[in-house]
Amino acid sequence: MTKLFTKDHEWLAIDGDVATVGITDYAQAQLGDVVFVELPEIGRQVAQGGEAAVVESVKAASDVFSPVSGEIVEVNAGLADAPQTVNEDAEAGAWFFKIRLADKGETADLMDEAAYRAFVETL
């Protein structure tokens, strides 16, 4: 499974033609206490860089952008009842949605973990 990152602080873990997407630990730390998550509808088509979900904290509401184009095939419904999971397990259990990739070539500009960590150090 390949894990990649965006400059907007989303991560995706690719398994075959489906990617699991969430926000990074850095992003949840910047948001503070997460109080609400709005997930996309299953079956919805999203474009790379398009708004796919919303995460709200005590500080702000932020869009979660899709790192790739494709169709939403699953959402993490547990986040509706336990949005604080995003703060507790941002880069694993608190994934937001799964998307069937329309074009694996779109992942070419994404960062691997080492590049992402280096990027965060510049912020």
pLDDT in tens, 14-39: 999 999 999 999 999 999 999 999 99
Rounded CA-CA distance 81/11 in Å is 22
Cα–Cα dist 97/72, whole Å: 7
Answer yes or no: is 78 within a domain: yes
Decide if 96 is inside a domain.
yes
User: Distance between CA 33 and CA 87 in Å, rounded?
Assistant: 7
Count of C-beta atoms within a 10 Å radius of residue 17 = 12
pTM: 0.96
Q: Which residue shows structure tokens 């509808």?
A: 41
pLDDT digits (tens, 9 = 90+) for 74-90: 999 999 999 999 999 99
Residue 55 located in a structural domain: yes
- Is residue 65 included in any domain, yes or no? yes
Joined together, the tokens standing for residue 98 give: 């799964």
Q: Which domain holds residue 26?
A: 2-103
Query: How far, in Å, CA of 31 to CA of 84, rounded?
Result: 11
pLDDT recorded at residue 51: 97
113 in a structural domain:
no
pLDDT of residue 11: 98
Q: In this structure, what CATH number is given to the domain that contains residue 20? A: 2.40.50.100
Is residue 120, in this structure, part of any structural domain at all?
Answer: no
pLDDT in tens, 38-47: 999 999 999 9
| Position 1 pLDDT exceeds 90 | no
Instruction: Tell me whether residue 19 is in a domain.
Output: yes
121 found inside a domain: no
Neighbour tally for 74: CB within 10 Å: 14
Domain count, the chain: 1
